[in-house]
């Protein structure tokens, strides 16, 4: 006779009831509302992929009375974000900013919830304390959407290339500035006009400072450098120059040289004999028209990753926008939820290498300079002599007489491209040049990249 199955223990889970992952959303704006839509539309599929059903238990917003369309159930809205995060297994932070996002993430972790965030500003400023809290409370922290929107980049660097040695990551990680520079290149318009148009189209924020001054790209560079080089690279370690100084004259000069101006985020392993350092920098640079990044148009992003064994990898796609960014957020939600169901943890912070940070002055870069000078004999020789006295070698030079009647024959604009030279030497040379009576103004100092 077959023995009867023992009665289940009174506290054992009922195997016929699929487990539920309670999800709390912090924010229902551009990204959050699309995350809610995708969860609603695909919850059946997601449940199969995760092995548990996602149940949205609340959505924290500032204004509870605002109509948020058909995908946001008004009954889920709350202004009690602090209370909400204690009722979830997984918190999706898409509210942005530093506070209260940071405190809410820390509270969520303390309550045992894993966190998915798209908040690059917070990660760049405070990533270390968030990672430490995740470790302390045994939860996960995922942030694929924080860099380059929909483009899978964090996971490839953190996981797929974990066995390789990354040398350099270089790319366009800010869509707004790419839209602006691309439009300036296509139309010849000045930047202010193009930024106004980008604002009308919803590409640029009402206050575009974070994008045009390079803060957004610098935050992303800090995240990429930390992951790529297993070193804590803070926002303050990233050299940052935005695009506000780029003029239509620079764009025209770049075109004459067969180049395009792009705002680049570059993070690099600098090897000098036995010594290794990390460089992280953001600046507008002239790249050859033949370089794949030159053809990245509108608000698209593209990133090159160079690794010792893998060689060069290129990632391209939509770096912003509610729906593309929500795709990356949901990828993380599924990943973290699976870990909740199956047990185990995702990757933790890896900063064992702790490489020193290279200052911008120590790097060797090629420059493009535009100077307005007196148009008389000996001036060019004087400028060349000054550069040469600092070990800076000129590769090409182009003189353009001014066309306005009054100054014609009195002033000229010279465009100089240099060979690779030390940044510090260029800083000193520029100081000296600006003191020369024949140098009326230094109009542009830009780098050349992508050779």
Catalytic machinery residues: 220
Q: What is the DSSP string of 175-240?
A: HHHHHHHHHHHHH---HHHHHHHHHHTTSS-SS-HHHHTSHHHHHHHHHHHHHHHTS---GGGSEE
Q: What is the DSSP string of 276-287?
A: EEEEEEEEEEEE
- Let me know: does 259 contact 287? Beta carbons within 8 Å: yes
> Shortest distance, CB of residue 313 to ligand HSE, whole angstroms?
21
Binding string, residues 359-398; x marks residues near ligand HSE by CB under 6 A? ----------------------------------------
Give the Cα-Cα-Cα angle 421, 424, 425 (nearest 5 degrees). 55
**Interacting stretch for ligand NDP, rule CB under 6 A, among 4-12, 56-64, 392-400, 406-414?**
56-64
Question: What CA–CA distance (Å, rounded) separates 319 from 103?
Answer: 27
56 binds ligand NDP (CB under 6 A): no
According to CB under 6 A, which residues from 130 to 149 bind ligand NDP? Answer: 145, 149
Interacting partner of 211 out of ligand NDP, ligand HSE, none (Cβ under 5 to 8 A depending on kind):
ligand HSE
Interacting partner of 281 out of ligand NDP, ligand HSE, none (Cβ under 5 to 8 A depending on kind):
none
Question: What CA–CA distance (Å, rounded) separates 56 from 130?
Answer: 23
Interacting partner of 253 out of ligand HSE, ligand NDP, none (Cβ under 5 to 8 A depending on kind):
none
> Shortest distance, CB of residue 145 to ligand HSE, whole angstroms?
8
Give the Cα-Cα-Cα angle 419, 448, 218 (nearest 5 degrees). 130
216 binds ligand HSE (CB under 6 A): yes
- Let me know: does 32 contact 96? Beta carbons within 8 Å: no
According to CB under 6 A, which residues from 313 to 352 bind ligand NDP? Answer: 320-321, 325
Residue placing its CB nearer to ligand NDP in the complex, 91 or 383:
91
Question: What CA–CA distance (Å, rounded) separates 306 from 308?
Answer: 7
Instruction: Pick one of 107, 176, 265, 279: the residue that binds ligand HSE (CB under 6 A).
Output: 176
Structure tokens at 119: 């908040």
H-run or E-run covering 114: strand 114-117
Residues that bind ligand HSE (CB under 6 A): 149, 174-176, 211, 216, 319-320
Residues that bind ligand NDP (CB under 6 A): 27-32, 60-63, 81, 94-96, 100, 118-120, 145, 149, 320-321, 325
């Amino acid at each position: 006779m077959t023995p009867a199955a023992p009665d289940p223990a009174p506290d054992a889970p009922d195997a016929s009831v699929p487990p539920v992952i309670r999800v709390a959303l912090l924010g229902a704006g551009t990204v959050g509302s699309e995350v809610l839509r995708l969860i609603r539309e695909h919850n059946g599929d997601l449940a199969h992929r995760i092995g548990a059903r996602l149940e949205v238990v609340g959505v924290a917003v500032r204004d509870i009375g605002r109509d948020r369309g058909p995908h946001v159930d008004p009954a889920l809205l709350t202004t009690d974000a602090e209370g909400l995060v204690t009722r979830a297994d997984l918190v999706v932070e898409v509210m942005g900013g530093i506070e209260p996002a940071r405190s809410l993430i820390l509270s969520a972790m303390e309550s045992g919830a894993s966190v998915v965030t798209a908040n690059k500003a917070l990660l760049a400023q405070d990533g270390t304390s968030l990672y430490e809290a995740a470790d302390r409370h045994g939860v996960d922290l995922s942030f694929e959407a924080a860099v380059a929107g929909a483009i899978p980049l964090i996971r490839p660097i953190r996981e797929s290339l974990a066995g390789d040695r990354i040398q350099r990551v270089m790319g366009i990680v800010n869509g707004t500035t790419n839209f602006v520079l691309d439009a300036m290149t296509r139309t010849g318009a000045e930047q202010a006009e193009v930024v106004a148009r980008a604002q009308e189209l919803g590409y640029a924020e009402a206050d575009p400072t974070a994008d045009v001054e390079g803060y957004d790209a610098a935050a992303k560079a800090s995240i990429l450098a930390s992951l790529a080089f297993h070193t804590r690279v803070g926002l303050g370690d990233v050299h940052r120059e935005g695009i506000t100084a780029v003029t239509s004259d620079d764009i025209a000069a770049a075109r004459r040289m067969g180049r395009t101006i792009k705002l680049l985020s570059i993070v690099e392993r600098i090897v000098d004999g036995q010594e290794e350092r990390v460089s992280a920098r953001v600046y507008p640079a002239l790249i050859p028209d033949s370089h794949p990044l030159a053809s990245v148009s509108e608000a698209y992003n593209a990133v090159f990753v160079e690794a010792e064994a893998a060689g060069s990898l290129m990632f391209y796609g939509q770096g912003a926008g509610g729906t593309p960014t929500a795709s990356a957020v949901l990828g993380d939600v599924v990943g973290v939820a699976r870990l909740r169901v199956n047990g185990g943890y995702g990757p933790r912070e890896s900063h064992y290498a702790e490489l020193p940070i290279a200052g911008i002055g120590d790097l060797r870069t090629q420059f493009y300079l535009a100077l307005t000078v007196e148009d008389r004999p000996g001036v060019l020789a004087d400028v060349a002599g000054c550069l040469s006295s600092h070990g800076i070698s000129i590769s090409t030079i182009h003189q353009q007489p001014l066309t306005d009647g009054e100054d014609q024959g009195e002033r000229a604009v010279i465009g100089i491209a240099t060979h690779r030279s030390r940044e510090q030497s260029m800083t000193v040379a520029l100081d000296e040049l600006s003191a020369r009576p024949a140098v009326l103004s230094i109009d542009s100092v830009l780098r050349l990249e992508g050779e």
